[in-house]
């Protein structure tokens, strides 16, 4: 993958001569509370990582190790380092991130405490430094113990939930600690309540001043159609000084400002009035992502100079909530640069339980995968972490819009003074860190906490409810919302997700029904209802969460399991499943349409079962997503105008079953391949409605397409020749809209096709331009469940692999004797992805390419390639 991206990451430090920066990253000593464990530990890092690297424990993700290593999180730990420094002046120890509850001492003197992993802490240590050896110690208290103590101390009323459901095997009271909420377990992840110094530590020594941070926010002035770039610099000043500040965006603007600074912390704002036209930044699929470089130079009167650069991009964002003709409620859609944009994407969770182990490659692979699947948006979900700078810089480059939650999820939260205080600092810091990124298009206060009160998840009596609503409003509205609006006037703010938006506000911020499809966004899950029944889905304005579980591939699972685990009813299979009845739900849903695997070899049957869960997941999410995309122009019974689909969830935190489309390690599940098609810029989607076959053309393009036809073919399961071919009348595809292009009774079509029945045939279709070009991916629809299909034969798929003559690219040629469905190619551990996968094979030969992410050979691929189709598993 591309490593050059580092140059785009923002390092907000200014380099200058009078400021000396001593990094304290590297090897520290680590000790548990009774000194029975003493190892060296890397900073940034965490206790689990250190113990694993030193061979004290094995892979925490292996089999049942999350339970075996629970003791680590129940102990308290001390990190120690020593250092010597030269340099005189004001000295500040900067901790970019401590996880979480700690007491920091230097040479035996306590210099500060931390209680929030999402904050940076600066501790002044002027006068405490020795010329020779300095000893820095960070004592970290068990987050589990701390959370439990805080909960017990909260005696006036309970703040639920107390504990996660037993199936999650997690820890209790995570809502009492400002730490990744999923670290105490989630329904897709293990409980690893980490402890550590998860970001860098440094000592800054300076005589005049240092720059704490700076922000750059372009603002559009519609009055004179021009852009102002608001730049803010945050200083920590020792002696009063004057400076000349030069700011320039090459070829666009340059300007000088005089600055005079007085001792203390100060915030200076500048406005660059851009008097030329700029190239606008667009979401992926809608235009380019031009990034300009803003350069700042601060020339101090005394001759010192500070320099920094930052990428800036120009775009506007609005969230439109206004009446819609013939529909009660309000619209809910994003407008970028004045144009309505349909958000296509998914939800982002932490990439690893041990954040220090997240690499540039992991983030790059995931974001590239999102973009390759035609996604233009991701929601950074509120139960994890505010992502690292690199993540947002890549999203700026790739055109991926970010819906940024604040880190509160599925719980009520305390609101005592010190809790609110630390949250306020967290919010201020995070908004200042992230608001310069064009990719961030919305702030959102929390995940599902409005719904938790409205739908009474926690058995709160009517009499107590006002108390909880008051706390809710205090935390998310009076504190977080107010702060965000003060710090950033350029983006919409939503209090929760799902929410009814302005309607929730009218109802006192907790709506009667935050899932109301007439307003705002919704989350919707239903596992036992037949997912092929699209009429059951809420025709929402914006689907910000929905999805189905599947199991990750055998090669991913086999890294953390042994032969006896490779059975769907093993202890391992139930242990990894953190969602109540999750494994049963997958099989029940799959069984509605597929014959469940029953090959006699147990490992083969296990692999096949994994496969069938991925088939089910891909098919279900496809049907649901196509329904939402079709609904963008429709109002049916007052509902519709859907303008966003963010399925749950993009990525995984470990090797376990979940709703993800990309496995831990970066391997694509079938769903991810399918997303590439169902998120295509122009989509043709079919549906059966009251006996009719309907084909819609959905377009994200900015202009109309004229004289488009849908081409429709019927194939029988026993032959590669189309039984019949049809065409729709020519139609005009709406720009940014959905158009019905084909509608016929299925009975009439079957009659016309002579030899077809619902069970013996499958229907394929795509859109074609007047010149005969395919303008949407080839799609298909079944007229009956594959489990009832008639005439299906074993396809006997064989293959050959050849080097494609392009670096790390290979061609797989497939042959089959009969049509095959859900044809799945799996190369085990060889990282990379195919151009298509999980496809319908309707010719006896077809080729697929594989792009590897590391050097490999045709022989290695041949040796590892497994091909499965639906008919192979029973
Ligand atoms: C010291 O702590 C470890 C880890 O928590 C524990 O396993 C061990 O029993 C303790 N030893 C004593 C003597 O308390
Ligand atoms: C960790 O520290 C807390 C607070 O001092 C204390 O209550 C707890 O007993 C300590 N745990 C261990 C294992 O020493
Ligand atoms: C545009 O701004 C530049 C400074 O970047 C200035 O030199 C120039 O005079 C301005 N032009 C107009 C027409 O205002
Ligand atoms: C545009 O108008 C704003 C005030 O409405 C003013 O501050 C700004 O200087 C104007 N920009 C240009 C380029 O004239
Ligand atoms: C809900 O609360 C009521 C009283 O407030 C109690 O009687 C009932 O057992 C609780 N139900 C659950 C499921 O906790
Ligand atoms: C489909 O879902 C709708 C709405 O939930 C329900 O009324 C209908 O019975 C379902 N149809 C089938 C065939 O299950
Ligand atoms: C599975 O777990 C149960 C209950 O914890 C235990 O009794 C049994 O021995 C385990 N079986 C295997 C094969 O590990
Ligand atoms: C084409 O349009 C005519 C007239 O509106 C209609 O009768 C016919 O069914 C249409 N054909 C198709 C394939 O949709
Ligand atoms: C219809 O099916 C029969 C039996 O499968 C076959 O013999 C015949 O050739 C088919 N006719 C057409 C028109 O495809
Ligand atoms: C597997 O299921 C298929 C379809 O139900 C059935 O025909 C076959 O006999 C079964 N095989 C075994 C080994 O149970």
What string of DSSP letters covers 472-487? HIIIIIIIIIHHHHHH
Q: Is 545 a catalytic residue?
A: yes
Identified catalytic residue from 42, 387, 545, 663: 545
If one residue of 31, 32, 36 were mutated to test the ligand 1 pocket, choosing by the most ligand atoms within 8 A of its CB, it would be 36
Identified catalytic residue from 448, 450, 626, 663: 448
**Residue owning the nearest CA to atom 10 of ligand 6:** 533
DSSP annotation string for 264-314 = EEEEEEEEEEE-S--PBP--TTSS----EEEEEEEEETTS-EEEEEEEE-B
If one residue of 74, 139, 142, 144 were mutated to test the ligand 2 pocket, choosing by the most ligand atoms within 8 A of its CB, it would be 142
Of 319, 22, 50, the residue nearest 197 (C-alpha) = 50
Do the domains spanning 682-788 and 798-873 agree at the CATH topology level? Answer: yes
Instruction: Tell me, letter by letter, the H, E, C secondary structure of 425-471.
Output: HHHHHHHHHHCCCCCEEEEECCECHHHHHHCCCCCCCCCCHHHHHHH
Is 528 near ligand 6, meaning CB less than 6 Å away? no
Residue 673 burial (CB < 10 Å; 0-12/13-18/19+)?
buried
What pLDDT shows up at residue 19?
Answer: 83
Tens of pLDDT, residues 103-157: 999 999 999 999 999 999 999 999 999 989 999 999 999 999 999 999 999 999 9
| Nearest-angstrom CA–CA distance, 839 and 779 | 10
| Ranges of the chain whose pLDDT falls below 70 | 1-17
**Residue owning the nearest CA to atom 12 of ligand 1:** 34
For residue 274, give the ligand 4 atom closest to its CA: 13
**Residue owning the nearest CA to atom 8 of ligand 1:** 36
**Residue owning the nearest CA to atom 3 of ligand 8:** 729
Q: Which homologous superfamily does the CATH classification assign to the domain defined by 682-788?
A: Immunoglobulins (2.60.40.10)
Is 752 near ligand 9, meaning CB less than 6 Å away? no
Task: Write out the two tokens for 849.
Answer: 């390419």
Q: Distance from the CA of 322 to the center of ligand 8, in angstroms? A: 36
For residue 461, give the ligand 5 atom closest to its CA: 5
| Nearest-angstrom CA–CA distance, 626 and 738 | 11
Is 571 near ligand 7, meaning CB less than 6 Å away? yes
Is 600 near ligand 10, meaning CB less than 6 Å away? yes
- Whether a cis peptide bond, with omega within 30° of 0, leads into 649 is yes
Of 719, 868, 862, 852, the residue nearest 799 (C-alpha) = 862
Looking at the CA of 789, which ligand is closest? 10
Pick the CATH number of 208-312 from 2.60.40.10, 3.40.640.10, 2.30.30.60, 3.90.650.10: 2.60.40.10
394: Cβ contacts below 8 Å, ≥ 6 apart: 5, 8, 363, 364, 367, 400
What pLDDT shows up at residue 17?
Answer: 62
For residue 34, give the ligand 1 atom closest to its CA: 1
Residues with CB under 6 A from ligand 4: 221, 223-224, 226, 273, 275
For residue 744, give the ligand 8 atom closest to its CA: 14
Give the other-Cβ count within 10 Å of 361's Cβ: 14
SS3 at position 356: helix
Is 34 near ligand 1, meaning CB less than 6 Å away? yes
Beta partners for 799?
814
Is 721 near ligand 9, meaning CB less than 6 Å away? no
Give the C-alpha distances (Å, rounded to integers) separating 632 from 324, 458, 611, 642, 826: 13, 35, 32, 5, 35
Give the C-alpha distances (Å, rounded to integers) separating 785 from 132, 531, 632, 821: 77, 12, 27, 12
- Whether a cis peptide bond, with omega within 30° of 0, leads into 166 is no
Answer for the pair 548, 587: CB distance below 8 angstroms, yes or no.
Answer: no
For residue 571, give the ligand 7 atom closest to its CA: 1
**Residue owning the nearest CA to atom 4 of ligand 10:** 874
Looking at the CA of 726, which ligand is closest? 8
Compute the C-alpha angle 680/685/691, nearest 5°.
Answer: 175
| Nearest-angstrom CA–CA distance, 595 and 414 | 49
Looking at the CA of 601, which ligand is closest? 10
Tens of pLDDT, residues 410-454: 999 999 999 999 999 999 999 999 999 999 999 999 999 999 999
Angle between helices 670-678 and 602-630 (to 10 degrees): 20
Pick the CATH number of 19-203 from 2.60.120.260, 3.40.50.1980, 2.60.40.10, 3.10.20.30: 2.60.120.260
Pick the CATH number of 798-873 from 2.60.40.10, 1.10.3720.10, 2.40.30.200, 1.20.1250.20: 2.60.40.10
The pTM score is: 0.96
Phi, psi torsion values for 463, nearest 5 degrees: -65, -35
H or E stretch covering 145: helix 143-153
Domain boundaries along the sequence of the chain:
19-203, 208-312, 382-517, 682-788, 798-873
The owner of tokens 């110094």 is 197
Answer for the pair 740, 728: CB distance below 8 angstroms, yes or no.
Answer: no
Answer for the pair 608, 554: CB distance below 8 angstroms, yes or no.
Answer: no
What pLDDT shows up at residue 303?
Answer: 87
Q: Distance from the CA of 737 to the center of ligand 1, in angstroms? A: 64
Answer for the pair 671, 653: CB distance below 8 angstroms, yes or no.
Answer: no
Q: Distance from the CA of 48 to the center of ligand 1, in angstroms? A: 16
Q: Distance from the CA of 243 to the center of ligand 3, in angstroms? A: 23
**Residue owning the nearest CA to atom 2 of ligand 4:** 224
Answer for the pair 747, 734: CB distance below 8 angstroms, yes or no.
Answer: no
**Residue owning the nearest CA to atom 3 of ligand 5:** 459
Is 757 near ligand 3, meaning CB less than 6 Å away? no
Looking at the CA of 226, which ligand is closest? 4
**Residue owning the nearest CA to atom 5 of ligand 5:** 461
SS3 at position 122: strand
For residue 33, give the ligand 1 atom closest to its CA: 2
Tens of pLDDT, residues 256-314: 999 999 999 999 999 999 999 999 999 999 999 999 999 999 999 988 899 999 999 99
What pLDDT shows up at residue 16?
Answer: 59
If one residue of 162, 165, 458, 459 were mutated to test the ligand 5 pocket, choosing by the most ligand atoms within 8 A of its CB, it would be 459
Q: Is 230 a catalytic residue?
A: no
Give the other-Cβ count within 10 Å of 528's Cβ: 11
Of 398, 16, 445, the residue nearest 207 (C-alpha) = 16
H or E stretch covering 502: helix 502-506
For residue 459, give the ligand 5 atom closest to its CA: 1
SS3 at position 34: coil
The architecture CATH gives domain 382-517: Alpha-Beta Barrel (3.20)
Q: Distance from the CA of 462 to the center of ligand 5, in angstroms? A: 12
Of 339, 320, 649, 329, the residue nearest 500 (C-alpha) = 329
| Nearest-angstrom CA–CA distance, 127 and 772 | 78
**Residue owning the nearest CA to atom 6 of ligand 10:** 874
| Residue 182: CA count within 13 A, CB half-sphere | 25
Answer for the pair 695, 729: CB distance below 8 angstroms, yes or no.
Answer: no
Q: Distance from the CA of 598 to the center of ligand 10, in angstroms? A: 6
Tens of pLDDT, residues 86-99: 878 999 999 999 99
Q: Distance from the CA of 729 to the center of ligand 8, in angstroms? A: 6
Q: Distance from the CA of 784 to the center of ligand 3, in angstroms? A: 67
């Amino acid at each position: 993958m591309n490593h050059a991206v580092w140059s785009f990451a923002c390092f907000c430090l200014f380099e200058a001569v009078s400021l000396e920066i001593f990094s304290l990253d590297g090897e520290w000593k680590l000790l548990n509370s009774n000194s029975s464990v003493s190892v060296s530990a890397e900073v940034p890092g965490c206790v689990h990582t250190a113990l694993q690297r030193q061979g004290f424990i094995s892979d925490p993700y292996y089999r049942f190790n999350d339970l075996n290593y629970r003791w680590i999180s129940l102990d308290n730990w001390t990190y120690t380092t020593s250092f010597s420094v030269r340099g005189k002046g004001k000295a500040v120890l900067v901790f970019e991130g401590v996880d979480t509850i700690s007491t920091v001492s230097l040479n035996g003197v306590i210099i500060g405490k931390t209680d929030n992993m999402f904050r940076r802490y600066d501790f002044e240590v002027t006068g405490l430094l020795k010329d020779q050896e300095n000893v820095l110690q960070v004592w970290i208290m068990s987050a589990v113990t701390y959370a439990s103590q805080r909960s017990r101390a909260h005696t006036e009323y309970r703040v639920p939930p107390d504990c996660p459901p037993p199936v999650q095997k997690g820890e209790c009271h995570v809502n009492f600690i400002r730490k990744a909420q999923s670290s105490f377990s989630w329904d897709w992840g293990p409980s690893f309540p980490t402890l550590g110094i998860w970001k860098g530590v440094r000592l800054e020594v300076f005589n005049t001043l240092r720059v704490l941070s700076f922000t750059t926010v372009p603002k559009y002035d519609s009055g004179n159609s021009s852009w102002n770039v608001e730049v803010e610099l945050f200083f920590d000043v020792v002696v009063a000084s004057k400076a000349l500040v030069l700011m320039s965006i090459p070829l666009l603007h340059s300007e000088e400002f005089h600055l005079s600074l007085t001792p203390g912390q100060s915030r200076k704002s500048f406005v660059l009035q851009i008097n030329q036209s700029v190239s606008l930044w667009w979401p992926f699929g809608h235009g380019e992502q031009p990034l300009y470089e803003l350069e700042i130079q601060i020339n101090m009167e005394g001759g010192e100079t500070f320099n920094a650069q930052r990428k800036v991009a120009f775009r506007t964002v609005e969230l439109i909530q206004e009446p819609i003709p013939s529909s009660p409620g309000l619209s809910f859609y994003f407008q970028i640069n004045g144009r309505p944009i349909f958000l296509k994407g998914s939800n982002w969770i932490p990439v690893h339980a041990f954040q220090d182990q997240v690499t540039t490659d992991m983030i790059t692979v995931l974001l590239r995968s999102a973009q390759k699947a035609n996604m233009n948006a991701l929601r950074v979900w509120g139960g994890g972490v505010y992502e690292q700078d690199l993540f947002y810089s890549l999203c700026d480059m790739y055109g991926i819009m970010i819906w940024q939650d604040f880190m509160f999820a599925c719980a009520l939260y305390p609101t005592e003074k010190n809790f609110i205080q630390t949250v306020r600092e967290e919010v201020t810091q995070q908004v200042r860190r992230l608001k310069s990124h064009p990719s961030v298009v919305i702030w959102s206060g929390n995940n599902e906490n409005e719904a938790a009160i409205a739908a009474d998840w926690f058995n709160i009596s009517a009499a107590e409810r006002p108390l909880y609503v008051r706390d809710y409003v205090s935390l998310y509205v009076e504190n977080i919302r107010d702060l965000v609006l003060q710090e950033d006037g350029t983006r919409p703010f939503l209090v929760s997700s799902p929410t009814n938006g302005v309607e929730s506000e009218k109802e006192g911020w907790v709506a009667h029904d935050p899932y109301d499809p007439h307003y705002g966004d919704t989350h919707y899950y239903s596992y036992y209802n037949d997912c092929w029944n699209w009429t059951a889905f809420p025709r929402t304005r914006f689907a910000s969460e929905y999805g189905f579980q599947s199991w990750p591939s055998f090669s991913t699972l086999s890294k953390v399991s042994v032969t006896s685990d490779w059975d769907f009813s093993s202890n391992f299979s139930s242990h990894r499943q953190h969602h109540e009845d999750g494994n049963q739900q997958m099989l029940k849903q799959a069984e509605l349409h597929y014959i469940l695997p029953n090959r006699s070899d147990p490992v083969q049957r296990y692999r096949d079962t994994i496969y069938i869960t991925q088939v089910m997941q891909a098919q279900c999410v496809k049907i649901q997503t196509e329904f939402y995309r079709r609904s963008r122009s429709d109002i049916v019974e007052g509902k519709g105008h859907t303008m966003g689909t963010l399925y749950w969830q993009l990525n995984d935190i470990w090797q376990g079953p979940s709703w993800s489309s990309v496995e831990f390690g970066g391997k694509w599940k079938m769903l991810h391949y399918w997303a590439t098609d169902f998120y295509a810029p122009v989509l043709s989607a079919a549906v059966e409605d009251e006996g009719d076959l309907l084909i819609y053309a959905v377009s994200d393009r900015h202009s109309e397409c004229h004289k488009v036809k849908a081409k429709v073919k019927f194939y029988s399961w026993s032959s590669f020749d189309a039984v019949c071919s049809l065409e729709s009348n020519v139609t005009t595809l709406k720009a940014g809209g959905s158009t019905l292009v084909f509608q016929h009774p299925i009975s009439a079509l079957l009659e016309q096709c002579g030899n077809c029945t619902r069970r013996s045939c499958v229907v394929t279709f795509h859109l074609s331009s007047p010149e005969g070009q395919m303008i949407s991916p080839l799609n298909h629809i079944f007229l009956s469940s594959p489990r009832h299909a008639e005439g299906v034969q074993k396809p006997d798929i064989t293959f050959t692999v050849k080097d494609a003559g392009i670096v790390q690219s290979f061609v797989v040629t497939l042959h089959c004797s009969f049509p095959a469905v859900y044809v799945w190619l799996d190369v085990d551990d060889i990282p990379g992805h195919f151009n298509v996968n999980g496809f319908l094979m309707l010719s006896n030969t077809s080729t697929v390419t594989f792009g590897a992410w590391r050097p490999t050979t045709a022989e290695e691929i041949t040796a590892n390639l497994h091909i499965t189709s639906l008919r192979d598993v029973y």
